[in-house]
Structure 1
Amino acid sequence: MYSNRFGRLVSGLYGRKRSAVCGVVQSAAGRSGFSWTAVSKRRSPRLQRSVSCLEMRHHAVPCQISTRSSSQTTVDPDEVRRFQLLAGKWWDEQGEFAALHAMNDLRVPFIRDNLLNVHRARHPGKPLAGLRILDVGCGGGLLTEPLGRLGANVLGIDPVEDSICTAQLHASFDPDLRDSVSYRACTLEELSAEGEGEQEQGAGHFDAVVASEVVEHLADLETFAFCCGHVLKPGGSLFITTINKTNLSYALGIVVAEQLLRIVPSGTHDWEKFISPVELERLLESNGFSVQSVQGMLYNPVSGAWSWTNSTAINYALHAVKLRDDPQQDQAEESSPHPEDSTAATHS
């Protein structure tokens, strides 16, 4: 299997002493039988070659650390150490991140469809062409790559430098991603601070920010929400998938998933960091966002597949939009008729 060969390759690379910094489908799964997981398997066998991180086209570029980011950070050092140990395993579809690979069958169409409702331009074959997306906490690029294949210009960032190395190595073997996907080893607040001295301060650079299975690992959600608003353009979209803070999420997400079934490594999640949709919506609205939709998600450990559900008791996906400076402009756009609109949160 492609992913297993890649996993062995990366494990071999990380086993050596490093001497340098490593540097469209139109419809979702369901009726069409299309699987985003299957797409990642139909890749070139060139990963059998021995490759050094220094030979990659992309390089991990550290961001400048600002006064704000050094005093208010989203990064939990314990989380960084935990994911550092898993950095070489991102593309093993049967390993610790198997559930995240399978989640692409839901989260990719969720992001695509909602963005198409906001940005009405149509680009056959590349529906997200012309859009800039920031993938926060991208890990090995499991979500970054499919968004790039949909035509978006995607920047993936992660504080774990070895995860960025894995993401760059994997993307380097796909020429279709050469101009659409890039990575940086930094935090969200560091990236946000880079625009402080620019003339367009606060205007933002991205059409969308994605934070999938990230917020439950952060140290400061207030800083996260503020920085998301800072890097987004007015009217830009924020997509979050995370775990609700309920007794059921503790029983299934930690006791069953981590301790009994070992779907994810033990200690991956801290229930105290989980956040309910109500709390998350309140946080986002206090930072200039308007929540558009919240949809429940359910993972079946037997089939290894995700499905949409009306219940948000365990996992859920959220779409919010950054309000414009001129609220009348938002109201005018909302009241204007758009016959092509569809409800993106409704999935088969």
Structure 2
Amino acid sequence: MYSKKLARLAFGVLTEYTVSCPLTRSVSSRVNAARSLCSWTLCLHHRQKNQLSEGFSRRLIRLNVRTVSQTTLDPAEVRKFQAMASKWWDLQGDFAALHSMNDLRVPFIRDNLLNMHGIRQLGKPLAGLRILDVGCGGGVLSEPLGRLGTDVLGIDPVEDSVRTAELHSSYDPDLRERVRYQACTLEELAEEEAEGFHAVVASEVVEHLADLDAFASCCQQVLKPGGSLFITTINKTNLSYVFGIVAAEQLLRIVPSGTHDWEKFISPEDLERLLESFGFYVEAIRGMMYNPLTGAWSWQQNTAINYALHAIKCKEEPQPGQVWAESENLDKPGRATNYS
């Protein structure tokens, strides 16, 4: 009873904050393409200045060439999820909130891909598309994506989680040929599959990674030009610490204690800047909120705690000789320059 009263109080405070602080935004493709160009231009200028004296060839100064020496894998995070590998399909257990999140994230992925590719087949609207589910765990998201007609590859460094995912999907004949799993890291897969996927999904994953630069670089490598990157994660705010860690882990026990590290959370602004530097432009960012009383997720007007992001890999890279001229044109009449 105490937990329910605490949850009701916490949810009421959060709802009041949500109404008073609208932060949701949709990002137009044109504005973000312009922003991405400016971001790329500054990075290029910095690299040219530092690399010229070292005799680097101009061919190395390309958007998709960025030295990443780290791995996405955090051994401590692997140990956490290794201990929970058998619990993925307990609908009332540690991953109950992730199952409930499918009510938002599956339509978010589906609708954005339909806007880009159109309906492929009645009953299987995303047939013919390949999706990579990074950090797939037990396949909680991979399976509903497979039922939309996509060919899904779920990857996870925790082999026991992958075995759980394989066993569960084997019971559904509709998924046996459409969804497959592989125990590996994203960087290991990037060495094998270049530009092989129409979409990459990383849901509740980036806050567990060791190196976000390595993550963004690998996503850029495995996506086809014009491919989509879908991320759901937790903002780095005081509210996210109170509700995402203190309340969710320590008081309400929605997720096991120690699941999250607030220092690894990232704001949508920082995530957008990171992705732009690797050749993406952000199409949309939407706030999300979990109601512990009903066990349901809903879209919200702010991104103070959880948010979903859709980014697109640029189809063409600006040519080095044209970048400065194109950036100057952004200030001419008729071009969007207000990014607020």
TMscore range, shorter length: 0.7 to 0.9
Q: Supply the distance in 1 between the matched residues of 2:91 and 2:140 (Cα, whole angstroms).
A: 10
RMSD: 1.6
Q: Supply the distance in 2 between the matched residues of 1:185 and 1:320 (Cα, whole angstroms).
A: 26
Q: Supply the distance in 2 between the matched residues of 1:121 and 1:287 (Cα, whole angstroms).
A: 29
Q: Does 1:319 align with 2:310?
A: yes
Amino acid at match of 2:232: T
Aligned partner of residue 86 in structure 2, secondary structure: helix
Q: Does 1:296 align with 2:296?
A: no
Structure 1: state its 5+ residue gaps.
Answer: 1-67, 196-202, 329-348
Q: What CA deviation, in whole Å up to 9, does each residue of 1:258-289 have, x standing for no partner?
A: 00000000000000000000000000000000
2:100 paired residue among 79, 99, 102: 102
- TM-score computed with the length of structure 1 as normaliser: 0.71
Paired position in structure 2 for 1:148: 146
Measured after TM superposition, the shift of residue 123 of structure 1 is 1.5
1:258 paired residue among 249, 268, 293: 249
Measured after TM superposition, the shift of residue 326 of structure 1 is 5.4
Measured after TM superposition, the shift of residue 69 of structure 1 is 11
Q: Supply the distance in 1 between the matched residues of 2:70 and 2:207 (Cα, whole angstroms).
A: 17
Measured after TM superposition, the shift of residue 70 of structure 1 is 11
Q: What CA deviation, in whole Å up to 9, does each residue of 1:184-226 have, x standing for no partner?
A: 000000000124xxxxxxx500000000000000000000000
Q: What CA deviation, in whole Å up to 9, does each residue of 1:41-84 have, x standing for no partner?
A: xxxxxxxxxxxxxxxxxxxxxxxxxxx99952101000000000
Aligned partner of residue 273 in structure 2, secondary structure: helix
Aligned partner of residue 123 in structure 1, secondary structure: coil
Contact 2:81 2:158 in 1 (8 A): yes
Amino acid at match of 1:127: P
Measured after TM superposition, the shift of residue 122 of structure 1 is 3.6
Structure 2: state its 5+ residue gaps.
Answer: 1-65, 320-340
Q: Percent identity?
A: 76
Aligned partner of residue 118 in structure 2, secondary structure: coil
Paired position in structure 2 for 1:90: 88
Q: Does 1:135 align with 2:126?
A: no
Q: Supply the distance in 1 between the matched residues of 2:68 and 2:277 (Cα, whole angstroms).
A: 23
Paired position in structure 1 for 2:270: 279
The correspondence of residues 1-348 of structure 1 with structure 2, limited to 5 A, is 71-195=69-193, 204-325=195-316
| Structure (1 or 2) with the greater helix fraction | 2
Paired position in structure 2 for 1:60: none
Q: Supply the distance in 2 between the matched residues of 1:182 and 1:222 (Cα, whole angstroms).
A: 27
The structure 1 segments of at least 4 consecutive aligned residues displaced by more than 4 Å after TM superposition are 68-71
Measured after TM superposition, the shift of residue 325 of structure 1 is 2.1
Aligned partner of residue 311 in structure 1, secondary structure: coil
Shift in alpha-carbon separation, 1:152–1:88, aligned structure 2, 3 A: same
Q: What CA deviation, in whole Å up to 9, does each residue of 1:224-275 have, x standing for no partner?
A: 0000000000000000000000000000000000000000000000000000
Q: Supply the distance in 1 between the matched residues of 2:317 and 2:71 (Cα, whole angstroms).
A: 30
Contact 1:229 1:288 in 2 (8 A): yes
Higher relative contact order (Cα pairs below 8 Å, separated by 6+ residues): 2
Amino acid at match of 1:324: K
Pick the structure with greater CA Rg: 2
Q: Supply the distance in 1 between the matched residues of 2:101 and 2:137 (Cα, whole angstroms).
A: 14
Q: Supply the distance in 2 between the matched residues of 1:261 and 1:320 (Cα, whole angstroms).
A: 33
Paired position in structure 1 for 2:327: none
